């Protein structure tokens, strides 16, 4: 047989393998092969990453030797980047003979280099790892020996423990330079250690009984001493049997000045002040006698008495005396809130024997506040046979509110009395009353048969003038206040069912009644309560919550409350007010823990909306009744509202909306709709000038879940097809990408959406293609193609909410706006009203706040806008334009790079600087080729004179009058030759301008008159609000020369302008005789006056102009212009000479 040799070979190989493994363990073996497994398992248990940077070592040689070095344990995510634990090396030598014994003995334990970082955040969460739990039933029993692990020799060095508390802003640092345990002989164990705490040196020395005593737990004793700075510790103990603590004797004394950095660890310590703590525990029969005395600068504490069974804390008889100089310090040490700086005294005695607990002669005094208590509970935690006397009083109840970190809004005197007395039949009579200012609570009744309390009954009354004050203490803020009163009576049946016989709650003009039953203590489950509430007025309730103007209608609510405190179920919900009726027909509303869920179906009937909404009614009143089913759905992560079976005036169908539980749009959003809009006029308020469409419209919406986003497709349709479509995309990475929206549509006529009085009387085909992105409160939009009639628009815009910034770039290649303009706008235009003070310049304030509040950068580029020139009907008013508006940080600028049309070519810049008061305004503009035909009845555009204008002006102020009063700069207009045909003035007009022209040119009254213009100059300069015509106005035609000079005071609007006329040969003798050579305009801009300049006609020195002009000696500059060869050239020369 060949099998036997094969088996022999396998056996030899197995024996050889075991031998090799044993030799490896004997000489030392690395556990590198098992390190990943060990890391994974320990990390899973600790819930934190553990890393072995070096592989653990194992060796079996006179015991089991384990060595681990360079180990780290990650910190909690919120606790910083540094590891929570770093270990340089640890070595343990285990006595193999004890490995499976009831006590495991480590012969040596060596630790070198350990850093532990402990931290607690403001919420009290520790960075210590949470050990993964085991769901199996715990069957462990008490160990056979109180010390299951013993160590014979210990050596620790270079150990550092840092602890930080974010809530108290305190940190502690403990350094262990060395700590050792040695056994110099079999009868002694000696401990030696030193290091520092908060950089203050400490040392510790213990001389105790030997290792055999520690191992057996018998005849254990030690003396010890230590120091922390100048704070000294000394004492001793003796314990004959570790299993019998009642035989313990222990003496310890800690005394001396507290080092300064140590005192910072607790508010009850004073730096460098003496402190003393003395503890004596002695063996008495049957237990221990305890005497603890603490003497600190701020606190004196004495605790003395007996403990019969210290292991179970039974047989207590302890007296407590506490005297604190400063209650705030003690409160801070205990983690309580702020309180008045008053002393505190506490006295009392605590007794316990089995289930009987007594608190005797307890007295707490804190300033003027006092609490007294005598409590006996024979069957704790039950109340059978209980006797309680409790009283409290003080001048200010907010003392307790501040102490327990509640809103301190009840700074009024208070008293409290409570009494529980056992009667002859074994029941306990309860009486209690609490008065806090005008807030009162009374409780009375009978307690029987703990724990079922069968046969018990209680009555409660509560009255408060301010529900708002009570709610704020529970962390609920109410927008309005109301008195509240509660009266309730409850009883417990023999079946341990609590019956709410009656409960009445009156608040906010509502009276609410509760009745029903639930299980007794301790579950309070299987509740079946009925809730009814009647309100005097829906309007009054709305006003309480800062909603004004709702309908003045009675309101009633009904609901059944089921379940338990852990899960409250609301069922059979009903609400009625006016002609609104809401009734749940199916499902529940559930409150479980901190979450709310719902699967309700609510049937709704609604009529007379205007009556319910009151002043909030949208200005229309649909005739008829709406019926629908509402399906609110709630869960810890989602909220949805379904609308089904909707039927009513103007609309029918169904819809649904699903949102995340925080009600924010994200990739969890679902929108569906299938609505028929029969008559939009029944759904919209009246809009001035708008007429809704008469045809049915249909609204459809569906939601599609895709890999990277949720898409909502919505359509608005009529009987012919789609009018408008919207594509809404909600990204999975919602925080980064936000909401994307695309809107598109095309149709033959915009009137499919309704008409408006401003619509032109023509068909309006439309195209819409735009997209937008909403990210938080920021908005970006791109209009790829928007067309309406013959108008087209495209561009981009971006709104950034954080800095109120708008950036836009808009192009209008062409437009047809003429049809949209009001007809006969000039004829129907209302005259500009004069100010009450008679001034012509209005006191309109500049909107300077917009320069501070918003940042704007908007560019606009257009082609022809399709607006016809009102004077030249065949010409376009705007053929091309490029504009840019910028503002922000108190500055604004409008730059017109180009504006070309029938009235010439314009370039201009307007700038405002409001960074300091007063605001500074500057403008520069030029105009080329501007035609003027002010009085031409049938002007020929091609032959009109052309004018060029340049101006540079600046002013200071916040309104138009201030700007006029501070105006500086210059203005120059020059005109070329041209023809004015068929000029004619109406003598009936009252226009001051026409009257002036009639006075200057009286021959225009004679009928149709032509004029051949040769040149024109108008030059003016402004200095601090004084506008001076210099060289003024010069006009030459073949028929007449005309000039003007003078001033306009823009501060007070006073005028002083003088005109000079001279007839030329082309006018003819008869017409020349009608010329008024000197005309003067005076008065104000609001009330100008026109007259002949009589003073200029007076003869002086015997030499005068034949026409009666000013004397030669006093001949003004403007008249010299008329005597030159070309008055326009002379005026321009004067302009240049007087520049700057």
Q: Give me the phi and psi of 55, to 5 degrees please.
A: -70, 140
Count CA within 13 A, CB hemisphere, residue 872: 19
Q: Is the pLDDT of residue 492 over 70?
A: yes
Sign of the CA dihedral 203, 205, 211, 212?
A: negative
E runs forming strands in 706-821: 709-718, 721-731, 739-747, 755-756, 766-775, 778-788, 791-800, 805-814
Residues linked to residue 491 through DSSP beta bridges, in sequence order: 457, 499
Highest mean pLDDT among 608-622, 694-708, 1082-1096: 694-708
Confidence of residue 1104 (pLDDT cuts 50, 70, 90): very low
In which residue are the tokens 């700074």 written? 411
**Model pLDDT for residues 270-290, shown as the tens digit of each residue:** 888 899 999 999 988 888 999
Tokens of 850: 């917009």
Find the distance separating the first CA and the last CA of the chain, reported in whole Å: 131
What SS3 class is residue 734? helix
854 and 808 Cβ atoms separated by less than 8 Å: no
pLDDT at site 20: 46
* pLDDT tens digits for range 1015-1046: 999 999 999 999 999 888 998 888 888 888 99
Residue 176 — pLDDT band, cuts 50, 70, 90?
very high
Which of the two residues, 1097 and 202, has the higher pLDDT score?
202
- What is the C-alpha to C-alpha distance for residues 325 and 124, in angstroms, rounded to an integer? 28
Residue 1094's pLDDT band, with cuts at 50, 70 and 90, is low
Task: Tell me the chain's radius of gyration from C-alpha atoms.
Answer: 49
**1119 contact partners, CB below 8 Å, separation of at least 6:** 1043, 1060, 1109, 1110
- Alpha-carbon dihedral sign for residues 243, 245, 249, 254: positive
pLDDT at 1109: 30
As a whole number of angstroms, the distance between CA 76 and CA 123 comes to 14
d(CA 248, CA 436): 50
Quote the CA–CA distance of 699 and 676 in Å, as a whole number: 6
Spatial separation of the C-alpha atoms in residues 204 and 107, rounded to whole Å: 22
pLDDT at 1110: 28
Asked if residues 1101 and 1113 have their Cβ atoms less than 8 Å apart, the reply is yes
Ranking 30-34, 63-67, 94-98 by mean pLDDT, the lowest is 30-34
pLDDT category at 338 given cuts 50, 70, 90 is confident
Tell me which residue of 339, 468, 344, 341 sits closest to 402, measured CA to CA. 339
Task: Say which DSSP state 509 is in.
Answer: T
pLDDT digits (tens, 9 = 90+) for 901-912: 999 999 999 999
Kindly indicate the confidence band of residue 921, based on its pLDDT and cuts at 50, 70 and 90.
Answer: very high
Six-digit token string for 75:
């910190």
Helix (H, G, I), strand (E, B) or coil at 60: strand
When pLDDT is cut at 50, 70 and 90, the band that residue 25 belongs to is low
Cα–Cα dist 1028/960, whole Å: 19
| pLDDT for residue 155 | 94
**Residue 959 burial by Cβ neighbours in a 10 Å radius (0-12, 13-18, 19+):** middle
Percent of the chain with pLDDT over 70: 87
Instruction: Please tell me the distance from the alpha carbon of residue 669 to that of residue 704, in angstroms, as a whole number.
Output: 10
**Per-residue confidence at 833, pLDDT binned at 50, 70, 90?**
low
Cβ–Cβ under 8 Å, residues 971 and 954: no
Distance CA 799, CA 775 (A): 10
- Measured distance CA(556)–CA(549) in Å, rounded: 19
- What is the rounded distance in angstroms from the CA atom of residue 549 to the CA atom of residue 543? 8
| CA pair distance 844, 867, nearest whole angstrom | 29
Q: Is the pLDDT of residue 434 over 90?
A: yes
Task: Please state whether beta strands 805-814 and 855-862 pair in parallel, antiparallel, or not at all (unpaired).
Answer: parallel
Q: Hey, is 1121 helix, strand or coil?
A: helix
Cβ contact 1022:970 at 8 Å: yes
**CA pair distance 978, 929, nearest whole angstrom:** 12
The pLDDT score that the predictor gives to residue 1105 is 32
Helix residue ranges per DSSP H, 522-630: 538-544, 609-613
Of residues 566 and 114, more confidence is placed in 114
Query: What counts of helices (H) and strands (E) characterise the chain?
Result: 17, 63
CA-based torsion, 892, 898, 901, 903: positive or negative: positive
Measured CA to CA in angstroms, residue 1046 lies from 267, 994, 1019, 1055, 1060 at distances of 86, 20, 11, 8, 12
Q: At 355, which helix (H) or strand (E)?
A: none
* Phi–psi pair at 203, nearest 5 degrees: -150, 155
Chain mean pLDDT for the chain: 84
849 has a pLDDT exceeding 50: yes
The residue whose two tokens read 């949720």 is: 710
Q: What is the mean pLDDT of residues 869-887?
A: 91
Which of 420-424, 486-490, 666-670 is most confident? 486-490
- Name the DSSP class of 822: P
Q: Burial of 1041 by CB count in 10 Å (0-12 exposed, 13-18 middle, 19+ buried)?
A: buried
H or E stretch covering 43: helix 35-46
What average pLDDT score do residues 391-407 get?
A: 89
In the DSSP assignment, the letter for residue 663 is -
What SS3 state is found at 124?
coil
The rounded distance, in Å, linking the Cα atoms of 1055 and 154 is: 109
Give the pLDDT of residue 596: 81
Round to whole Å and give the CA distance between 706 and 711: 7
Cβ atoms of 968 and 932 closer than 8 Å: no
Q: Which two tokens stand for residue 590?
A: 């559930």
- 3-state DSSP of 845-879: ECCCHHHHHCEEEEEEEECCCCCECCCCCCCECCC
Per-residue 3-state assignment (H helix, E strand, C coil) for 75-129: CCHHHCCCCCEEEEEEEEEECHHHCCCCCEEEEEEEEEEEEEEEEECCCCCECCC
| CB of 567 closer than 8 Å to CB of 551 | no
Q: Answer for the pair 212, 201: CB distance below 8 angstroms, yes or no.
A: no
Rounded (to 5) percent helix, strand, coil in the chain: 15, 50, 35
- How far, in Å, CA of 728 to CA of 566, rounded? 40
**Residue found under tokens 């604190």:** 324
Task: Give the 3-state secondary structure of residue 328.
Answer: helix
The pairing of strands 414-422 and 387-394 is antiparallel
pLDDT band at 988; cut points 50, 70, 90:
very low
Tell whether the model's pLDDT for residue 688 goes beyond 60: yes
| Closest alpha carbon to 449 in 494, 500, 419, 490 | 494
Sign (positive/negative) of CA torsion 951, 956, 958, 960? negative
Structure tokens at 129: 């790892």
Tens of pLDDT along 435-455?
999 999 999 998 888 777 888
Give the whole-angstrom CA distance, residue 449 versus residue 469. 37
Q: Which residue has the higher pLDDT, 544 or 771?
A: 771
Higher pLDDT, 147 or 575: 575
**Residue 936, class by beta-carbon neighbours within 10 Å (0-12 exposed, 13-18 middle, 19+ buried)?**
buried
**Mean pLDDT (whole number) for 1055-1064:** 85
User: Over 200-247, what HEC string results?
Assistant: EEEEEEEEEECHHHHHHCEEEEEEEEEEECCEEEEEEEEEEECCCHHH
User: Tell me, what's the pLDDT at 1117?
Assistant: 43
Distances (CA, A) of 221 to 211, 217, 235: 11, 10, 11
The residue-averaged pLDDT of 951-955 equals: 95
How many beta carbons lie within 10 A of that of residue 141, not counting itself? 6
């Amino acid at each position: 047989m060949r099998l036997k040799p094969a088996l022999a070979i396998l056996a030899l190989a197995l024996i050889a393998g075991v031998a090799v493994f044993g030799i490896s363990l004997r000489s030392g073996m690395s556990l590198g092969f098992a390190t990943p497994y060990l890391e994974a398992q320990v990390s899973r248990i600790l819930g934190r990453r553990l890393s072995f940077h070096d592989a653990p070592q194992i060796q079996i040689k006179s015991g089991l030797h384990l060595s681990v070095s360079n180990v780290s344990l990650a910190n909690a995510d919120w606790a910083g980047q540094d590891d929570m634990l770093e270990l340089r090396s640890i070595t343990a030598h285990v006595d193999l003979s004890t490995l499976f014994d009831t006590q495991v003995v480590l012969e040596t334990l060596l630790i070198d280099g350990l850093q532990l970082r402990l931290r607690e955040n403001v919420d009290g969460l520790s960075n210590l790892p949470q050990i993964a739990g085991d769901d199996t039933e715990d069957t462990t029993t008490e160990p056979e020996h109180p010390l299951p692990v013993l160590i014979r020799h210990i050596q620790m060095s270079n150990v550092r423990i840092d602890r930080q508390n974010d809530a108290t802003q305190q940190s502690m640092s403990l350094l262990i330079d060395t700590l050792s345990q040695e056994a110099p002989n079999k009868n002694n164990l000696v401990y030696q250690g030193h290091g520092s705490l908060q950089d203050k040196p400490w040392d510790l020395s213990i001389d105790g009984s030997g290792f055999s005593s520690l191992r057996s737990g018998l005849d254990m004793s030690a003396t010890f001493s230590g120091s922390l700075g100048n704070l000294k510790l000394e004492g001793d103990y003796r314990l004959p049997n570790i299993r019998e603590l009642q035989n313990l004797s222990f003496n310890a004394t800690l005394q001396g000045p507290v080092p300064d950095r140590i005192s910072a660890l607790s508010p009850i310590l004073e730096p460098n002040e003496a402190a003393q703590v003395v503890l004596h525990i002695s063996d008495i029969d049957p237990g221990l006698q305890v005497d603890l005395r603490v003497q600190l600068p701020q606190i004196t504490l004495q605790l003395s008495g007996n403990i019969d069974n210290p292991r179970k804390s039974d047989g207590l008889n302890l007296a407590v005396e506490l005297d604190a100089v400063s209650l705030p310090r003690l409160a801070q040490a205990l983690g309580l809130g702020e309180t008045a700086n008053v002393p505190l005294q506490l006295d009392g005695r605590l007794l316990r024997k089995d289930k009987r607990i007594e608190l005797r002669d307890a007295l707490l005094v804190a300033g003027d506040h006092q609490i007294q208590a005598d409590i006996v509970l024979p069957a704790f935690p039950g109340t059978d046979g209980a006797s309680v006397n409790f009283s409290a009083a003080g001048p200010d109840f907010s003392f307790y509110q501040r102490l327990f970190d509640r809103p301190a809004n009840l700074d009024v005197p208070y008293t409290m009395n409570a009494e529980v007395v056992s009667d002859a039949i074994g029941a306990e009579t309860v009486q209690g009353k609490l008065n806090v200012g005008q807030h009162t609570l009374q409780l009375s009744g009978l307690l029987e048969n703990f724990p079922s309390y069968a046969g018990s009954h209680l009555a409660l009354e509560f009255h408060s003038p301010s529900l708002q004050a009570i709610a704020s203490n529970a962390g609920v803020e109410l927008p309005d206040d109301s008195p509240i009163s509660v009266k309730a009576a409850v009883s417990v049946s023999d079946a341990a069912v609590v019956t709410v016989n009656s409960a009445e709650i009156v608040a906010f003009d509502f009276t609410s009644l509760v009745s029903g039953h639930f299980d007794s203590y301790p579950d309070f489950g299987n509740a079946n309560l009925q809730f009814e509430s009647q309100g005097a007025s829906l309007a009054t309730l709305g006003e309480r919550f800062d909603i004004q103007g709702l309908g003045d209608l009675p309101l009633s609510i009904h609901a059944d409350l089921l379940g338990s405190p852990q899960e409250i179920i609301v069922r059979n919900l009903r609400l009625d007010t006016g002609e609104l009726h809401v009734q749940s027909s199916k499902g529940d509303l559930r409150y479980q823990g901190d979450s709310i869920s719902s699967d309700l179906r609510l049937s709704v009937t609604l009529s007379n909306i205007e009556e319910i909404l009151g002043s909030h009614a949208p200005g229309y009143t649909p005739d008829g009744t709406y019926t629908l089913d509402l399906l609110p759905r709630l869960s810890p992560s989602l909220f949805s509202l379904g609308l089904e079976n909707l039927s009513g005036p103007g609309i029918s169908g169904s819809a649904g909306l699903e949102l995340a539980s925080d009600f924010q749009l994200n990739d969890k959003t679902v929108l569906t709709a299938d609505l028929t809009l029969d008559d939009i006029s029944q759904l919209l308020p009246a809009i001035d000038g708008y007429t809704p469409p008469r045809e049915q419209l249909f609204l459809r919406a569906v939601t599609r879940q895709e890999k990277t986003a949720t898409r909502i497709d919505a359509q608005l349709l009529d009987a012919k097809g789609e009018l408008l479509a919207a594509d809404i995309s909600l990204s999975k990475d919602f925080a980064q990408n936000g909401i994307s929206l695309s809107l598109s549509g095309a149709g033959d006529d915009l009137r499919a959406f309704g008409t408006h009085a401003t619509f032109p009387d023509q068909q309006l085909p439309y195209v819409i293609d735009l997209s937008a992105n909403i990210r938080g409160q920021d908005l970006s939009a791109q209009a790829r193609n928007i067309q309406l009639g013959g108008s087209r628009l495209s561009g981009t815009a971006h709104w950034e909410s954080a800095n109120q910034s708008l950036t836009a770039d808009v192009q209008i290649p062409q437009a047809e706006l003429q049809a949209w303009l009001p007809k006969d706008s000039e004829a129907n235009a209302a005259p500009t009203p004069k100010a009450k003070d008679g001034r012509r310049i209005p006191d309109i304030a500049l909107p300077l706040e917009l320069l501070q509040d918003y940042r704007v950068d908007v560019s606009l580029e257009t082609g022809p806008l399709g607006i016809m020139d009102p004077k030249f009907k065949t010409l376009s008013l705007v053929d091309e334009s490029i504009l840019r508006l910028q503002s922000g940080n108190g500055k604004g600028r409008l730059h017109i790079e180009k504006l070309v049309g029938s009235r010439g070519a314009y370039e201009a810049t307007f700038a405002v600087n409001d960074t300091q008061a007063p605001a500074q305004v500057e403008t520069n503009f030029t105009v080329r080729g501007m035609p003027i035909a002010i009085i031409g009845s049938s002007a020929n555009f091609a032959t009109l004179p052309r004018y060029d204008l340049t101006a540079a002006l600046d002013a200071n102020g916040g309104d138009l009058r201030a700007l006029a009063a501070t105006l500086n700069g210059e203005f120059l207009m020059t005109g070329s030759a041209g023809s004015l045909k068929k000029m004619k003035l109406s003598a009936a007009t009252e226009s001051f301008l026409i009257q002036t022209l009639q006075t200057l040119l009286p021959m225009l009254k004679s009928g149709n008159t032509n004029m051949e213009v040769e040149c024109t100059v108008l030059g003016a300069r402004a200095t601090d609000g004084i506008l001076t015509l210099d060289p003024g106005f010069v006009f030459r035609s073949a028929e007449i020369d005309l000039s003007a000079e003078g001033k306009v005071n823009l501060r007070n609007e006073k005028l002083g302008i003088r005109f000079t006329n001279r007839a030329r040969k082309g006018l003819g003798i008869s017409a020349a005789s009608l010329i008024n050579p000197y005309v003067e305009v005076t008065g104000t801009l609001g009330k100008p006056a026109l007259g002949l300049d009589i003073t200029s006609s007076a003869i002086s020195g015997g030499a005068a102009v034949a026409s009666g002009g000013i004397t030669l000696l006093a001949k003004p500059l403007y008249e010299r212009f008329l005597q030159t060869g070309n008055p326009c050239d002379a005026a321009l020369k004067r302009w240049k000479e007087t520049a700057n």
